[in-house]
Structure 1
Amino acid sequence: MFNEIKRSIEWGHDTLTLETGKIARQADASVIATYGETSVMAAVVFEKKPKEGFDFFPLTVHYQEKYYAAGKIPGGFFKREARPTEKETLTSRLIDRPIRPLFVPGFKHETQVICTVLSHDLENDPDVVAMIAASAALTLSGAPFLGPIGCARVGFVDGDYILNPAVEDMQGLRNNPEQRLDLVVAGTKDAVMMVESEAYELSEAEMLGAVKFGHDQMQPVIDMILDLAGEAAKEPFDFQSPDYSDLYAKVQAAGEEAMRAAFAITDKQERTAAVSAARETVKAALSEEELEDKNLGSAMKKLESSVVRGDILKTGKRIDGRDLSTVRPIVAEAGLLPRTHGSALFTRGETQGLVVTTLGTGDDEQIIDALHGESRSNFMLHYNFPPYSVGEAGRMMGPGRREIGHGKLAWRALQAVLPAATDFPYTIRVVSEITESNGSSSMASVCGGSLSMMDAGVPLKAPVAGVAMGLILEGSDFAVLTDILGDEDHLGDMDFKVAGTENGITSLQMDIKVAGITPSIMEQALAQAKDGRLHILNEMGKALAEGRNEFSAHAPRIETMNVPTDKIREVIGSGGKVIREIVETSGAKVDINDDGVIKIASPNAEAIEKARGMIHAIVAEPEVGEIYTGKVVKIMDFGAFVNFFGKRDGLVHVSQMSNERVGHPKDVVQEGQDVKVKLMGFDDRGKVRLSMKVVDQSTGKEITESEEA
């Protein structure tokens, strides 16, 4: 019934297996990739007729994690997988980016890739496995895909690169000082197509070495996919790239001069209007039949690309008049908003980000429910891209894939310089509002985020800046561009984002729109990016050279104290009664964890001290020989019980009330009376022994033997 075909190799620390022919046979291709005990199924379907009127390739990639894969039931009331998690969205983008450029130009058939995590061993991350499965399925499907691609995750420990480190090793690099890199690289046999990473101030040489290492290590995977395809691939789909050379010649003749004049305008809004006018000039010169040609959009884009790319390669001058390595003018400001905890406005050319930092307590940490288990994050970065930032009126919706991806890139760049949670017990939320955009808004979020946190008083290890690099590649001629514009990104061959400190790289993201780039081009891009990054850091330093020493008056103050773990129950009380009383009485927020670490938060220092005192009274132990002020709470025939330390009571025996004979305790004390007592010790049953007669009741000082005499 099944024509099942399998291939396996030993790869890194585990076995990688690809299998097809048994499950999801009505898809154009379906492959299950298994690494260790992590299995991901990728199913590919593409329509056999093109989408009319599309001037882009309608490819969608969906990566989905099923909780049953790890033997879990989803949390919450709904109890089923709902909207994509951040991890699912980011992995969908991760798979899309290297495969999209490898489809034959002109292919406009709707194509869908669905990757489903079927099993997760909690050791091998499914994202790399999913990308391999998707590559294999596309290679088998018969679609005009110029793959396959391979993929690998790379770690960096003690100067050595590690292939596919375990999930546990990569969880929260901030908490794992040995692991300095989490890098995912994808590529073809000959070239790198995509890089995504977070790092701890690695040098350019170390990052380049990691990329090369990953590309070398993925080669056996590519060979295995080709071997599988030799037996299981379908006949190639009959598709030829459309020939619109005649139409392009007419478009070029009618509009090249106007298009060249339009791209000579440096202001973005004026240039956009002039480009639109040039398009109308072209359309006016075409026949009705040519206007209805479905390749007209492609011909127009080719003309724009030819003008922009050709001028850069010939003259070394860019759209806005800059040379290849100059960064646009920068204005950085900090402390703009009066009520926020920290704020910054970072403007680079026509790209601008208003970035705001908010400090919170442990109650504000993000709870993440994932396949590998529940975790908490005390650092969040959210990126917003409203339509007015590009001069448009558009729908306002929740964050899309782009917003989530750009926010995560900025998060990766900044998390490497955050202080340890034990040193800075705050939850940090950074929000980047992109108020203007003309290229590299994610890197503006990095720069503004660094300044904003410094303005809030977050003790960063070092400021972080980011810059986006571009590439124009025509045969053997190429130009690497520093700080690219939106048009240079749209019409260029590479989007290469590098962020870091003066000492090294903290994040690198690379997307290639051609069939990969050589190591020498990447090396030049990294060197040029370092110069740009250092220039931007210098400009940022003019606004704020180091973090502020004081918090905003509106930010919470958090202080920590430690209590013995056997005292945690006493601080919390039955049903939380005691800790609620502390919060209500002091006005401070109190949070205690299982290790006995207590965080006390309030904008008011007096509230913090009051809460600290109440907690200290609960957990501290009275010291023998110390003198305390207590209150008589009960009188018996044999003495009086005095509450002298927090909620601790002790007995003052009638013989310890006075140096003179006492007939009855009521002759000396009354209930509610304040008295001075000395802790004499504890009896055999652990009960407290107090004395009043050795303490001067008026001064609170101990009476010496000579004074008694």
Structure 2
Amino acid sequence: DELLKKVEALTDDLDEAVKVTSKRWRDDAINKIKDRVFTELAPSREQVILDPEAAENLVILQMTWKKHIAGRMRRLILDEDRRPDGRNCTTVRPIHIVPGFLPTAHGSALFTRGETQTLAVVTLGGDDMAMKQESIDGEAQLRFYLQYSFPPFSVGEVGRVGAPGRREVGHGKLAERSLQNTIPDKEKFPYVIRIENNILESNGSSSMASVCGGCLAMMDAGVPIERPVAGVAMGLIVEDSQIAVLTDILGMEDALGDMDFKVSGDGEGISALQMDVKVEGITTDVIATALIQARKGRLDILSAMKEAMPSHRETLPETVPKIHTMSIAVKKIGEVIGPGGKQIKSIIEDCGGEEMMSISISQDGLVSIMSTDLDAIAKAVQL
């Protein structure tokens, strides 16, 4: 291809640019080379506007550039076992963890893996904080849910921040499913648990960082998690008979590689999977290799998490409201609530009002009394 040869002639220093370990400086170095190529080979803006053929040539040049830079990155990995940030194929990026990052929150953790960082915040509350969810099966109340936020500044961009998009909802659901099985039964831990994951910086695998950060934040809040969960994203480079499976992929490897395979779980097994592929098919050997590498990477991450936070808090933080549960006969539910909720409202008012206390009663007679004041809870129990 003549155009590709012209691009290659102008990019002798591209390999060195791809090898720059910092995402910011690597992008700057690559963009300088790209500017050189497009200045030399791209049609002018005026030509693109006036001439359809020039516009088509610009698109072809853009595709050729992407193919060229992808080829350089892929050859670097396959021939030298060297990735853009300097790692080999099986190494997880450096991890830094700060549990209890926000001292007044119920639970929090700052989790950083390479150039991907999330601030996970946990809020504990009563049944009235449960998320109401409607489906074809009817209405359900979720006592555990995770919300994922990916603001534009996390990738160095400026943009409008509004309602969560499809990507944010999907990533949040994946992280939520990864952690779902760690949540203790209501009888053991009566709180509703909300995790908010705020991505502060992203260079690949932010959803799996959210799994790690969310787990640590729950442990910081005193949620009795016995088997912590971590997640890692696996990548793939395939060129003819050469295959490389990548552990803990970068954004560049995701964009220019052949697979994004997210795997989460604890030390014993897998809790969630998600795979996106750009090739026609993947063999069982490749999947097996990816799962084996993912387990090693996951164990490395879990080891770092354990070092930062060996176990969950034994006692709840002082900022968490206390919950007392008790059972009443089902036939007594109406009597406790009273006509129009008069009786239960009276109890709440006598114990400090709605700002101090909330009471919920399930259909099977389980009463949950929540307040920051233990004396108020004791009074409500007596009433």
Q: TM-score, normalised by structure 2?
A: 0.94
Matched, 1:382 2:138: no
Instruction: Please say if 1:328 is aligned against 2:104.
Output: no
1:396-435 CA-partner distances (Å, limit 9, x unpaired): 2211111111101100100011101232111111000000
Task: Measure, in 1, the Cα distance between the counterparts of 2:182 and 2:333.
Answer: 33
Matched with 1:604 is 373
The residue number in structure 2 matching 1:250 is 6
How far apart are residue 287 of structure 1 and its match? Answer: 6.0
| Structure 1 alignment gaps of length 5 or more | 1-244, 615-709
C-alpha spacing 1:291/1:313, structure 2 compared with 1 (3 Å): farther
Q: Which amino acid counterpart does residue 279 of structure 2 have in structure 1?
A: V
CA distance in 2, matches of 1:267, 1:515: 32
Aligned to 2:111: 346
User: Partner of 2:364 in structure 1?
Assistant: 595
Query: 1:193-592 maps to which residues of 2 (within 5 A)?
Result: 245-255=1-11, 257-286=12-41, 288=43, 292=55, 293=57, 294-587=59-352, 588-592=357-361
Counterpart CA distance in 2 for 1:593 and 1:318 is: 55
The alpha-carbon deviation at position 252 of structure 1 amounts to: 2.1
Q: 1:291 and 1:284, CA in 2 relative to 1: closer, same or farther beyond 3 A?
A: farther
Q: What CA distance in whole angstroms lies between the structure 1 residues aligned with 2:158 and 2:365?
A: 53
Deviation track 1:502-541 (CA, whole Å, cap 9, x = no partner) reads 1110011111111020000000000000000000001011
CA distance in 2, matches of 1:466, 1:370: 28
Task: Output the CA distance in 2 between the equivalents of 1:418 and 1:463.
Answer: 10
1:593 maps to amino acid: S
Deviations along 1:175-195, one digit per CA (max 9) or x if unpaired, are xxxxxxxxxxxxxxxxxxxxx
Q: State the identity as a percent.
A: 50
- For 1:421 and 1:278, the matched residues in 2 are separated by 58
Question: Unmatched 5+ residue regions in structure 2?
Answer: 48-52
Q: What is the 5 A alignment of 1:625-704?
A: none
Distance apart, 1:248 and its partner CA: 2.1
The one-letter amino acid of 2:14's match is M
Q: What secondary structure does 2:237 align onto?
A: strand
Q: Does 286-295 or 468-477 show the bigger shift?
A: 286-295
Query: Letter of the aligned partner of 2:364 in structure 1?
Result: D
**Structure 1 Cα separation of the partners of residues 112 and 238 of structure 2:** 29
Partner amino acid for 2:4? Y
- Which stretch has the larger CA shift, 426-435 or 276-285? 276-285
With structure 1 as the length reference, what TM-score do the two structures score?
A: 0.51
C-alpha displacement of 1:291: 6.9
* Amino acid corresponding to residue 532 of structure 1 in structure 2: G
Give the partner amino acid of 2:15.
R
Number of equivalent positions = 369
Give the conservation status (yes or no) of the 8 Å contact 1:443–1:497.
Answer: yes
C-alpha distance in 1, partners of 2:66/2:13? 14
Q: Which whole-Å CA distance do the structure 2 matches of 1:500 and 1:295 have between them? A: 43
Partners of 2:244 and 2:334 lie apart in 1 by 66
Evaluate the alpha carbon distance shift between residue 464 and residue 287 of structure 1 in structure 2; reply closer, same or farther with a 3 A threshold.
closer
Question: Deviation digits for residues 233-276 of structure 1, max 9, x if unmatched?
Answer: xxxxxxxxxxxx33222222222x23212111111111111111
Q: Which amino acid aligns with 2:19?
A: A
Structure ID, larger Rg? 1
Paired position in structure 2 for 1:34: none
Asked if structure 1 preserves the Cα contact closer than 8 Å seen for 2:22 and 2:85, the reply is yes
Q: Distance in 1 between matches of 2:96 and 2:344?
A: 48
Aligned residue identity for 2:283:
T
1:283 touches 1:291 (CA, 8 Å); kept in 2?
no
SS of alignment partner, residue 41 of structure 2: coil
Q: How far apart are the structure 1 equivalents of 2:287 and 2:87?
A: 21
Q: Do the aligned residues in 2 keep the contact of 1:482 with 1:528 (CA within 8 Å)?
A: yes
For 1:561 and 1:540, locate their aligned partners in 2 and report how far apart those are by CA, in whole Å: 36
Higher relative helix content: 2
One-letter amino acid of the counterpart of residue 290, structure 2? A
Query: How far apart, in 1, do the equivalents of 2:377 and 2:310 lie?
Result: 31
8 Å Cα contact 2:42/2:61 also seen in 1: no
1:132-143 superposed matches below 5 A: none
Alpha carbons 1:499, 1:533 under 8 Å: kept: yes
Letter in 2 for 1:429: R
Note the aligned Cα RMSD (angstroms): 1.3
SS for the counterpart of 1:498 is strand
The residue matched to 1:394 in structure 2 has which SS?
coil
Q: In the alignment, is the contact (CA less than 8 A) between 1:419 and 1:461 conserved in 2? A: no
Structure-2 separation of matches of 1:268 and 1:521: 28
Residue type of the alignment partner of 1:265: V
Task: Measure the CA separation in 2 of the matches of 1:338 and 1:386.
Answer: 23
CA deviation string 1:15-73 (max 9, x = no partner): xxxxxxxxxxxxxxxxxxxxxxxxxxxxxxxxxxxxxxxxxxxxxxxxxxxxxxxxxxx
Amino acid at match of 1:386: P
Query: Closer, same or farther in 2 for the Cα pair 1:454/1:324, shift >3 Å?
Result: same
Q: Deviations over 1:577-614 (max 9, x none)?
A: 11111111123311111111000101111111111111
Distance in 2 (CA, whole Å) between partners of 1:586 and 1:533 is: 48
